[in-house]
Amino acid sequence: MKRRDFLKKTGIATAAVVTATAGIMGCGKKEEKATGPAVTQKTYQWKMVTTWPPNMPVLQTGAERFAKRVEEATDGRIKIQVYAGGELVPALGVFDAVSDGTVEVGSGASYYWAGKVPAGQWFSSVPFGFNPQGINTWFYSGGGLKLWEEVYAPFNVVPRPQGNTGVQMGGWFRKEMKSLASYKGLKMRIPGLGGKVVAKAGGAVTLMPGGEIFTSLERGVIDATEWVGPLHDLRMGFYKAAKYYYYPGWHEPGTCLEVIFNKKIYDSLSKDLQLILDAIAMETNLWSLCEFEAGNGAALEELINVHKVKLMEFPPKMMDDLRKLAYEVLEEEAAKDPVSKKVHEAYKKFKKQVGIWGTVADSAYFSTIADKYALRTK
């Protein structure tokens, strides 16, 4: 008996055809009825609040893209209205709004909630820590995301990586930064663990939403600021208010952006909707990093060639001093509460693990092309 006849006789072929057809039909059209307990036809109208200024490329537009992609992927079962920072809740009130259920979704960065969730800072960026590749590896293959979920669970919040800025710039300064002592008395807008390093170096650190930074820098309320990189810094006009543009961004070598869901609402969803949200978050994570990488080069060229920005590299001795100070700060911050200690130790362990490979892979490779591609500045 031929295999086809055998399958037809046993009913296996028919079952396979029915299953495949149902799957294909479900990709492009609404199902007339649920195909199982894991699928629901219930629809949702959600609000998403962000920390980002209106129309901010990649950050705010990334949140809006996420909402659009979710609606497309769920065939309209989840529709999300997105609000920029301050439009519905204060920019730095996003975590609380999601936690208490005022809104269903939020977008920001975990170091913004350091006062409420100190351990959360390790999931955004650590000074002299992971680059984008490293932190994503920690999340998806090293247990970092599971640990992040544990940290946020008591606050009724579910986190997912939703973006990465790549290695950031060191910031905009109104004076030259010649040594660690240059930070003494410096009023700087800088968040997270990097801000704590600046404070330990003698700086006066402040945190403010993106929409308030330029005016504060222009008026001298602050002496320096960091934001992200050339793509944004050009748009925000920082070159009009500060003379010196420093690199590298030792404080944020690969900052993770987050999308957060109200836990009760997320847990109440059918499994297929949860998987869609997770998948779109991962997609947006990759998309945002690519957007930053693609846009930063062109923007940096314009800043240098058109606006005559003074691009400056932090002196090697200063970087060494900052690194030592950063390690001290990390240990001090981790010792303040058991949860931070647990996250810090997990971070260090995985950093050591991937660092062994990175030394003989990425680091060795880039050192061989450094002379060819190095940025030459006067």
Q: What is the pLDDT of residues 157-213, one digit of tens each?
A: 999 999 999 999 999 999 999 999 999 999 999 999 999 999 999 999 999 988 899
Is there a domain that residue 234 lies in?
no
**Each residue of 284-340: pLDDT tens digit?**
999 999 999 999 999 999 999 999 999 999 999 999 999 999 999 999 999 999 999
Is there a domain that residue 2 lies in?
no
Is there a domain that residue 353 lies in?
no
In one letter, which amino acid is 311?
A: L
The CA distance from 378 to 179, in Å, is 18
Tokens of 242: 């500060």
Are residues 289 and 164 in contact, defined by beta-carbon separation less than 8 angstroms?
Answer: yes
**Number of domain units in the chain:** 1
pLDDT at 375 (0 to 100): 53
* Long-range Cβ contact pairs of 137-141 (< 8 A, separation 24 or more): 137/350, 137/354, 138/347, 138/350, 138/354, 139/256, 140/282
Q: How many CB atoms neighbour CB 368 within 10 A? A: 8
Tell me the average pLDDT across 343-365: 88
Which residues fall within 8 angstroms of residue 44, CB to CB, at 6 or more apart?
Answer: 77, 78, 79, 104
Is there a domain that residue 304 lies in?
no
- Whichever domain contains 54, its CATH number is 3.40.190.170
Domain that holds residue 77: 44-164+255-292
Least confident of 161-165, 223-227, 250-254, 359-363: 359-363
In one letter, which amino acid is 14?
A: T
Is there a domain that residue 300 lies in?
no
Which residues fall within 8 angstroms of residue 260, CB to CB, at 6 or more apart?
Answer: 94, 95, 98, 105, 106, 107, 108, 152, 157, 158, 159, 160
Tokens of 117: 């969730």
Is there a domain that residue 366 lies in?
no
Q: How many CB atoms neighbour CB 236 within 10 A? A: 21
Average pLDDT for the chain? 89
Is there a domain that residue 136 lies in?
yes
Is there a domain that residue 378 lies in?
no
